[in-house]
Amino acid sequence: MGANEVKKGKKNLKPLYMLMIFLGIFGIFIFGLTRPSTLNKAVEEINASFSKKDVEMVWYKYKLDLYQDEEFLLKIRTRLTDLKLSKSDQKECLSWLPKAPVSLNLIIIPDLSRRIIDTINNPKQINNDKLIIRAAWDSFVKSAKYKEDSKDHFMVDVTDRQQASGAFNKVADNLKYDLSSHKGKSNILFFTQEKTKAFEKGIDKMYEMAKKKPLGADYRYYIRQYLKSRLLESTFFDTYDNKVIIVTDGYLEAENQQADTKLKGFEKELHNAVQMGNVPQIITKNSLNIPTGNIYIPNISILVCEVNERHYFPFTNKLWPGEKYDFEILKAYWEDWFNRMGIQKKFFVPREMSISTTTKTIADFVSE
């Protein structure tokens, strides 16, 4: 066989080699298309899961490969939701499931009692309150404005319907905001100048009504009757950060009721306790604890600000006996109350000489 014939034979085989290579590549491609992917296998197993334990096992089985896969996470969250689990089971699942997007639920509850017109003990209190509430609003806007499709909530509330001259409903709509309906666009479009102006106008109106007929703020009633319904529960799809700011002098003195922060008749013992550093123990020893009403709300953070011990009996020039003692006593009452309601994140701060210090405290509390 001559050299030309050998070359000719190799040339004739070249198309065959090309065909074989093509068929090999095509076969690999088809195998890749038809072979069940990791995600497909995981989804099949999720669909076949009929208990939280089944879903948890699928999660841990595919976690390393798919923990950042949005479709996988969606299937896991949807399946857990479909199982209609108890609250305790949901809590257990949330402990291992990646945290869903976080939305802020910020509630401001100002004390609209006579403290706002007690210019001897609390000079310029209404102005202070407004600056604090505006600082809370600004901090909320800063937290939420660059999000999209979030479910952030903000509201200013009163302890009972009789406050603000019983007409709080007239301004309530301008003091409550829910971003969950603001879909498909940046939250920055929600926070218009008009909205902020309406908010400020609502605050001005609320205090204008309140100072005409200031009534003792009943925080114990509010927490028992209203607060739980204002809090938002985290789900498999949403995580809520519930934060409450209470603006008060710290004296719990509801209208026509015995004070919850009991001072009268216990001055000597409580003042000695301040010196000894055992105020909480003395409160408990004398059964002075503020009743909780069987309320248990562990998943919230509370900031109590503008706490201001009295120098004089309200609207008189008679010296108040608790000066230099009351702050620590009031703090012990509130913290004991919060502790027994399961509230772990709590902050109790005095009225500061500079309002800018308080507004910074507000900003830090909201952003943390």
DSSP letter assigned to residue 345: E
Pairing of strands 153-156, 300-307: unpaired
pLDDT band at residue 90 using 50, 70 and 90 as cut-offs = very high
Q: What is the pLDDT of residues 32-60, one digit of tens each?
A: 444 458 999 999 999 999 999 999 999 99
Give CA–CA dist 4/18, Å, rounded: 22
Question: What pTM does this model have?
Answer: 0.86
Taking each helix axis from N to C terminus, what angle separates 355-367 and 125-144, rounded to the nearest 10 degrees? 30
Mean pLDDT of 256-268: 94
Q: What is the pLDDT of residues 94-138, one digit of tens each?
A: 999 999 999 999 999 999 999 999 999 999 999 999 999 999 999
Q: What is the pLDDT of residues 147-174, one digit of tens each?
A: 999 999 999 999 877 776 667 777 887 8
* Phi (first) and psi of residue 105, to 5 degrees: -120, 100
CA triple 48-51-53, angle to 5 deg: 105
Domains of the chain: 35-98 (no CATH), 103-367 (3.40.50)
